[in-house]
Amino acid sequence: MDEGIPKEDWESEIDDTILLSDVEIQTLITDSKNLPKTLFRDLRLKDKENRSYKEYELEAQSNSGRTFKILIRVNTINRKDFSVILLYIRKNKRQHILRRYNGIHIHRNKIEKNRFRDFHIHFATQRYQEKGHQIEGYAEITNSYSTWQEALNKMLEDCNFKGKDSFLSRFE
């Protein structure tokens, strides 16, 4: 996990034993996903006692019947330290991180051996899995957002979510 964010309970559900090909990953990303009509009832602020960040969680279904989870973590002290995460949930409840839109902290791409401290997006890749690294271990610097709300909007756009406009207005 990156240096800025502690390991969470949900991470025990991450499945690193089943490899996803780049084609499968792209299919999951482009699958049309619907934000639920009961969105604001379903969006839950997870209780994080004695933690310095807030975490929100939401499940969404795709038109093909797949289940995805959006996690939003925001540091309450440093607003530039955040993560907006898209996970794919298999029928057996095992999860794969497909994308992670992060705020500013140090990241190192283990294969490319480059390191940076900036806003960045993590991408699930077949090659990182094949080398024994986290599926979303590869990241690229971005200038497409500077807040967690903008990162969420970018993720919803990039990952083919429908109904996002009314969703985002609630966080402004």
pLDDT of 167 above 60: no
List pLDDT tens digits, range 23-80: 999 999 999 998 876 665 556 556 565 578 888 888 899 999 999 999 999 988 898 9
Query: Which pLDDT score is estimated for 8?
Result: 47
Whether residue 5 is predicted with pLDDT greater than 60 in this model: the reply is: no
The C-alpha atoms of residue 95 and residue 141 are separated, in whole angstroms, by 25
pLDDT for residue 24: 94
Predicted confidence (pLDDT) at residue 91 exceeds the cutoff of 60: yes
Predicted pLDDT at 82: 95
pLDDT digits (tens, 9 = 90+) for 133-164: 999 999 999 999 999 989 999 999 999 998 76
Helix (H) or strand (E) holding 24: helix 22-30
Q: What is the pTM of this model?
A: 0.83
The residues, any chain, with a CB within 8 Å of residue 135's CB and separated by 6 or more, are: 16, 20, 96, 97, 98, 124, 125, 128, 129
